[in-house]
Each structure stands twice: as C-alpha cells, then as structure tokens.
Structure 1
Amino acid sequence: MQDNENRPYQQCTRCIMDTTDPEISFDEKGQCNHCTEYFRLAPLYIYNGEETDRAREALIAKIKEAGKNSDYDCMVGVSGGVDSTYVAYMAKKFGLRILAFHFDNGWNSELAVKNVENIVKKLDIDYQTWVVDWEEFRDLQISFLKASVANAEIPSDHAFLAATYHLCSKYNIKYFLSGSNFATEGILPKSWGYNAKDVKHLKGIHKLFGKTKFKTYPLLGFNREFYYTYVKKIKMVRLLNYIPYVKEDAMKVIQDELGWVYYGGKHYESVFTRFFQAYYLPHKFGYDKRLAHLSTLICSGQMTREQALEEMKKDTYPPELLAEDKEYVIKKLGMNAEEFEAILNAPPKSYKEYPNDEKRLKFIYKVYNKLRGR
C-alpha cells in the first residue's frame, strides 16, 4: 500500500475528492486530477443533444440488424439497481427485444429480488439467472478478504463479466447493454481497486488462501475475451451515455412506471456490497466511495459541491443495520467473529503484493483498443 499518512490532508475545491486517494494530485487552483480528467472526457461520453441522438438512433438500428436472426436483440444485466433498471426500461422503449440477465452470487437483498421481479414482469421481457456455486464462490470471497486487498469485489465482478459473455454467446446475442455510465460513474480512483479481469491475480490469491478447486466458477481470461469480441463479435454498450441521464429523474421514472423501490445507496442492492462499501472499505482502508460517486454528480451538474458535502455528513449505515449485516456476512461466510475481526484488523495490502498480469494486460489492451479504434 502507498503510504499516505504523512501527506497533509487536502480536498478538491471543485469536487470533493481528497487525499484518501493516495495518488490524487491538485493544480494551482486546488482542483484535482479526477474532476479535471472528467471534464476532459465529458464531451466524448456525455449526452450533447442532436449529435448524440443521431448516434443513438444509428446504434439502435445496428443492434436490431445484428439481432434479426436471433430471438433477442440484446441482453441487459439487471441487478435491481437504478442504472441497470433504467437501461432495461429505455431499451424496451427503443423497441429492442431484450433478454434480462441477473447474476446471483448469493448476496441479493430481498428488495433487489423484488425489484428484478417487477422489472421483468412489467416490461414483459424474458429473464435468465446465473447462480454461482456457493461453496466455490464463498471460498474465493474469503480468499480475497484474507489477502487484505481493497477490491474484495473481484470475485463478483469477474464472474459477472464471464457469465455475461457466455450467455450472449449461448443465445447468439451480439450486444450487451451495460448500466455503467460516465454521467454518474466517471470518477473512481484506480488506487482504490484493481482490474477484475486479471485471471492471474484472481487465481493467485485463491491458490494462496483458498481451499476448494474451481469447477463451475466462470473465468474470463484475455484469450477468451478476445474470442468473444472478435470471433463471436459481442459488443458491450453503455446505453446511458447515449441519453440525457439524470439519476434522480431516472429513479422517479422507474418508481412510477415499474414499481421500483430505492435500497439506500449505490450498489446497496447487494448485502455484501453494502457492507463492503459502507463499512469494510472505510474501516480497513479509509476509502469512502461516496466521495467518488458524489464528485461525479457534481461534475455532471446533478448536485452542487455544498449538497455533496452535506450528503457526506449523513449516516448512511445506521448502527442497527451495520450490526445486522455484519452478523449476516460472518454467518453466511461460515466464519466466527474472531476470524472476521482478524481479517478486518490485518494490515491492508496492495494487489501488487500478489501475482498479477498488470503490465502485460496494459500492453495488450492498449493494442486491443487501437484495433477497435478507441
């Protein structure tokens, strides 16, 4: 881990990112590299009127053309969260034939399950669930927790990507519509996590700390991704970048139209993710992802800096819910309180302290993106 203890605390004067990101930098105005980079890239990824409308219309036409010999035009991952729900809603409005896909890693909240059920029922779309083998997945999650790395969500993120490509290939679907978007997710420090696609890293940590063997856990190495992308011609599209995406407005639409219910925070539709983001990361690493989420909303004009600072003062994790979630997480992982406290109190480590393919993957993806014209 990069030592940040001796650095004076500083917070951006434009957004609210601060020196809890050890790699943050500031200019002479006190504005950080994150919001500066956001504004540099915004013209490429933010909706800008008629030009984006034309691009979206062309994209929808391509998706329909690619799906004309299949049962579906596209697949949409639905978690029960606002972004993926709104993608499904808009894709249906654009006349696309959708296969909804839900990745079940065993941590869904009851509210998330109800949201997903409402989405597929009210939009009248087909639905496929990928359920992980719990014993394999639990062992991998515990391995990442024992490794003391910041991105303990890699087991979920990696499997989701692998399952997505697998199902698109199985159903001959050429387009996967992702809920990822620049307007509300354009800022996230690299120092707070690591590439979920790095199979060497995932296998390396599992080999050091795991007890079971992979039998059904879906893996996605670069070779496999290359096959899906160039041979099967599967494309991932961030549909929300093609529309004027304002989160509060989107939430109201899906509440009114789909009976969607808010779950209290970004990605809190998962019990583990709620505990991970609201307690584990801040407690163990000092990382509060709300800083990045709210800073992005400031940059996209959906919130003022003053509003964001007030939001940061709120307790989004009531003590009763924290205690309940912590007990549930410990029990579900098959651990005892002492074992879990030992993990929480172990010194944080960098992903670089474990096997990884970072240098090779950076080079490969640089070439890969050039070939794709990105």
Structure 2
Amino acid sequence: MIPNTQTCSRCIMDTTAPDIEFDEQGICNYCTAFLEKKAKHLPLDEEDRLRRLGALVDMVKEAGKGKKYDCIVGLSGGVDSSWSLVQAVRLGLRPLAVHMDSGWNSELAQNNIANLVRGLKVDLYTHVIDWPEIRGLMEAFFASDVIDVEVLYDNAMLAVNYQQAAKHGLKYILAGTNIATEGVDIPSTWNWHKADKRNIVGISKRFKGPKLKTFPSISTLDMVRYIGVQKIKWVSFLDYLDYRKSDALEVLKRDFGYKPYAYKHYESVFTRFYQGYLQPYKFGVDKRKPHLSSLIMTGEMTRDEALERAGGIAYPSEKDMEADRLYFIKKMGWSEEKFRDYMSRPEKPHTDYPSEAAFFQKLLALYRRMNLRVGRIVWK
C-alpha cells in the first residue's frame, strides 16, 4: 500500500519517515532513540521501579489530602488509559476519570468505559462537544488539507484533563502515555503540535468554520499556566508500572468484560478511519509502524509478527474498511464526489496557516536550558 525502499533491520520503521537514518547494520535512528529514552526514563530494575512508584503514589495522596479526588485519569476506552485507571484504584488512589467525547466514540468504547467505571466504582466526567461545532471544525481542517485532523481531538482531550485538574485543585494527571507502547516516536511530519490553539482557530476562520464554544481548547500559554504556575504534572503513569500490554488486556477482559480493538487508538471510529484510511491513502503515512515497532523493542512482539500485522490494509477486512468509509461520508454529510476530491488534493503544511508552534519550540528550548523537568507527553 505504501512504497518504501528500506526498512530497519531491528524494528519496522522505514523510509516513509522522511528523517529516518540507518547505521552500518541497517538499524534506524528511531529504535535507537527508543533505547536511549528507555534508559533515561524507565527504572533500572524492579527495586528501583517499586521505589519510584511508591514515591509517586505518596506524592499524589499527599497533594490530594482533604479533596474528593487526588488525581485525574484521562480515559479514552483504549487499553493504556483503561489500565492506568485500574492501577490507580488498586494502588489506593482516588481518581476522577475524565473522558472527552467528540461524537465519534465507537459503541465498543462506550461499553468498555461504562464497565470500567462501574466495576471500579469511580466517578466519570465526560465533556461532550456540540456535534455541529466539531463537525464544522473538522470541515475546516479537511478543507485546509493539513495532515493532523486529529489535533482537534488531542487538543480538546488535553484541555479537558487540565481544566478538570485545575477545577478540583489537583496536581497530578495520570496518563496512559508510556514508552512501552508509544516509545518509538511518531515522525514529526506525521502530526502537529497538540497545543496549537492558534492553528485551530486560524484554520477554522480561514475556511468559515465555527468559533470555539463547547470545544475545550488549550494553547501554549495555557500549558505554561497549568504546568508552570498551577504546578499540575502530566505523569506518564504506565512508565512507573511493570506494563505489558498483552498481560493488561487479559486482565481487563477477565475482570471488566473489556473488548479489544484491532489496532492502537481504534476506540474512536474517526481515529480508526483517519489512521486506517485517510492517512495511508491521502498522506502516505502508516502509524502502525511506530506503534508496532514499540512492541518489538519491548519484546512483546517479534519483528516478523509486526511485519505481518503491518502488511496490507489497516483493517480486519476490506468490508470493514468500506463500512467505515460509508459511515464517515454519511456522518459528515459528504457526497462521493466531495470525498474523492478531498482524497485527490495534495497535502498542505500546518504552517500555511496561523500557528504557535514556533513559539512553543522557543519556550521548550528555554525550559530545557533552565533544566526544568516537565511531564513527558507522547502523541498518537
């Protein structure tokens, strides 16, 4: 489906990633960077891991004394976020589960979320974006031909988590972001800065989209306020656990009636269609490659298994893919002609539109020079 000229001899990243480099053994810079990240952020051994985990749990409990909750756990319905919620409760924490509903939840995701919060007896806050508003924003992004339509969901998800933490006076967001399943970086040209509210507003304005009303947006300066002023920490919680996705999935299925998805982030119908159809066929991007490469590097999957899973379409069948395509067209109110026109147009960079990405990079560089430590966020 997506041509390439060279694939890494250790993972399955290939030359569809524009900045990929290979050493003499044919090993790429992506899985090499994964090992460096693992050595830097993950515990050295089980004793070190338990010490770090205990210290984190103690800090969360101390910061949450006298409050109804002591942390936020963002809950999408995927394995990573679901396991974060389960483990937070089992460690004696009092999380508020937070979910952002963009109108594209699969029925499976809704059932998984309902079973989890009921089984764990935790409170759930769900923010629902008005459908005409999110549809109008999506229309503007499609008209712009930028690659990261999902920046809309990710921005809103970030905003809801930080807003709820601020509302309840909480200092910790325990996220399902982790090195084990997301440690191989997404190439920078495959997505966009997630706190770029200016890009969202600018694209919407350029293509006569709606103003933000029920959409819970977040900007770079908002991030500075939440992290630097209000001291809210985004914690990649699963990095503190002995996390193996396959083992977690079995427990979720056994204890909570959890139903799995075909690929990572497929709990959203749009994310499934975006990653499984729009990105490969319009932009030449297949996010299964970094996702599966992460599992290779953690030993959860062999390279041959990953190559087999990444072969062919990113759907169980052509029938399933066509069903999602027709659902997308109907839900968006598109014609076949409009869909074909969108798919045939060339990509345009996010920088063709107003953006705060350069400002973010300057702040990030300053932050690093000051040797301040912030929570690590790994994107889809």
TM-score, structure 1 as length reference: 0.95
Structure 2: gaps (5+ residues): 375-380
Residue 27 of structure 1 pairs with residue 27 of structure 2: no
Q: Is the 8 A contact 1:140 1:210 kept in 2?
A: no
Alignment match, 1:153:
150
Alignment match, 2:40:
44
**The one of 275, 278, 281 aligned to 1:277:** 275
Residue 302 of structure 1 pairs with residue 303 of structure 2: no
Q: Is the 8 A contact 1:46 1:183 kept in 2?
A: no
2:51 is paired with a residue whose SS is helix
Give CA-to-partner distance per residue, 1:303-357, whole Å, 9 cap, x none.
Answer: 1111111222365412222222111111212222211221111111222332222
Alignment match, 2:89:
92
Alignment match, 1:17:
13
Q: Is the 8 A contact 1:21 1:189 kept in 2?
A: yes
Residue 131 of structure 1 pairs with residue 128 of structure 2: yes
Alignment match, 1:366:
365
TM-score, structure 2 as length reference: 0.93
Q: Is the 8 A contact 2:190 2:285 kept in 1?
A: yes
After superposing the two structures, state which structure 1 stretch, 123-132 or 339-348, moved more: 339-348
The one-letter amino acid paired with 2:349 is S
Q: Is the 8 A contact 1:67 1:74 kept in 2?
A: yes
After superposing the two structures, state which structure 1 stretch, 178-187 or 323-332, moved more: 323-332
Rounded to whole Å, the distance in 2 between the matches of 1:360 and 1:314 is: 39
1:219 is paired with a residue whose SS is coil
2:13 is paired with a residue whose SS is coil
Rounded to whole Å, the distance in 2 between the matches of 1:274 and 1:193 is: 15
CA shift for structure 1 position 45? 2.4
Q: Is the 8 A contact 1:144 1:205 kept in 2?
A: yes
1:99 is paired with a residue whose SS is strand
The one-letter amino acid paired with 1:137 is I
1:69 is paired with a residue whose SS is coil
For 1:201-350, what aligned pairs fall within 5 Å after superposition?
201-313=199-311, 315-317=313-315, 318-350=317-349
Rounded to whole Å, the distance in 2 between the matches of 1:221 and 1:308 is: 36
Rounded to whole Å, the distance in 2 between the matches of 1:373 and 1:103 is: 27
The one-letter amino acid paired with 2:18 is P
After superposing the two structures, state which structure 1 stretch, 223-232 or 324-333, moved more: 223-232
Rounded to whole Å, the distance in 1 between the matches of 2:126 and 2:285 is: 32
**The one of 100, 109, 133 aligned to 2:106:** 109
After superposing the two structures, state which structure 1 stretch, 311-320 or 233-242, moved more: 311-320
Rounded to whole Å, the distance in 1 between the matches of 2:33 and 2:76 is: 29
Alignment match, 2:116:
119
The one-letter amino acid paired with 1:362 is Q
Give CA-to-partner distance per residue, 1:144-199, whole Å, 9 cap, x none.
Answer: 12211211101111111111111111122221111110111011211211111112
Rounded to whole Å, the distance in 1 between the matches of 2:24 and 2:200 is: 40
CA shift for structure 1 position 271? 0.3
Give CA-to-partner distance per residue, 1:199-225, whole Å, 9 cap, x none.
Answer: 222222112123322223222112222
2:142 is paired with a residue whose SS is helix
Give CA-to-partner distance per residue, 1:1-34, whole Å, 9 cap, x none.
Answer: xxx99xx711111111001111211122211110
Alignment match, 1:81:
78
Alignment match, 1:175:
172
Two-structure CA RMSD over aligned residues (Å): 1.7
Q: Is the 8 A contact 2:277 2:314 kept in 1?
A: no
The one-letter amino acid paired with 1:277 is Q
Structure 1: gaps (5+ residues): none
Q: Is the 8 A contact 2:98 2:160 kept in 1?
A: no
Rounded to whole Å, the distance in 2 between the matches of 1:349 and 1:24 is: 21
Q: Is the 8 A contact 2:139 2:209 kept in 1?
A: no
2:264 is paired with a residue whose SS is coil
The one-letter amino acid paired with 1:345 is S
| Count of residue correspondences | 369
- Runs of at least 4 residues off by over 3 Å: none
Alignment match, 1:53:
50
Residue 354 of structure 1 pairs with residue 353 of structure 2: yes
The one-letter amino acid paired with 2:26 is G
The one-letter amino acid paired with 1:17 is M
